[in-house]
Amino acid sequence: MFWKKKEIQKNEKENETEMKKDYLYCEIPILKRKTRHAKTIIENKLYDTEKAEIISSTADCRILFVTKKGNYFSCKTTDYDYMENEENKTYHIFETVYHDIRPELLEYAMSNIGKYEPEKYIELYGEVEEA
């Protein structure tokens, strides 16, 4: 945290000196959210987290994406939380970094979407039979 000390002030009132107490106050940082996207070429296809749509999470803690052409891929994420000073302002940064991209099969995607995002599954693949 960025603490600053307030100076002691004296007020003169009818021959009395009143001391204001020291106190600390916190400079509240500005919150910022950042995303560092990833892209890679696998089997002559470009997979780009910035251009694809996030669909779901996966069982192995990955994020599942679909491209505009309907190809699925997943990647891992790492979240960072840090402070940054810029132009006399303090920023509290929450940054997500995408990495380790790999293509996924349709069956894998359908299984994970059905497990973690059932409404999205129905939207993408149609109604399913009640159990």
* 78-104 per-position pLDDT tens digit: 999 999 888 888 899 999 999 999 999
Structure-token match 């099969």, residue found? 105
Tokens of 106: 């349709």
Rounded Cα gap, residues 57 and 53, in angstroms: 12
Determine the pLDDT at residue 24.
56
CA–CA distance, 53 with 2 (Å, rounded to integer): 38
- In the chain, where the domains are located: 28-125
* DSSP category for residue 119: H
CA dihedral 49, 54, 56, 60 (to 10 degrees): 10
Q: What is the pLDDT of residues 101-118, one digit of tens each?
A: 999 999 999 999 999 999
- Distance, in Å, from the CA atom of 42 to the CA atom of 63, rounded to the nearest integer, reads 18
Residue 64 burial by Cβ neighbours in a 10 Å radius (0-12, 13-18, 19+): buried
Q: Per-residue pLDDT tens for 5-46?
A: 444 444 444 444 444 444 455 667 889 999 999 999 999 999
Nearest to 47 by CA among 67, 70, 69, 77: 67
Token pair belonging to 87: 């132009």
Phi/psi at 118 (5° precision): -60, -35
Going from the C-alpha of 31 to that of each of 37, 79, 82, the distances in angstroms are 20, 15, 10
Report how far residue 98's alpha carbon sits from residue 38's, in angstroms, rounded to the nearest whole number. Answer: 6
Q: What is the pLDDT of residue 63?
A: 96
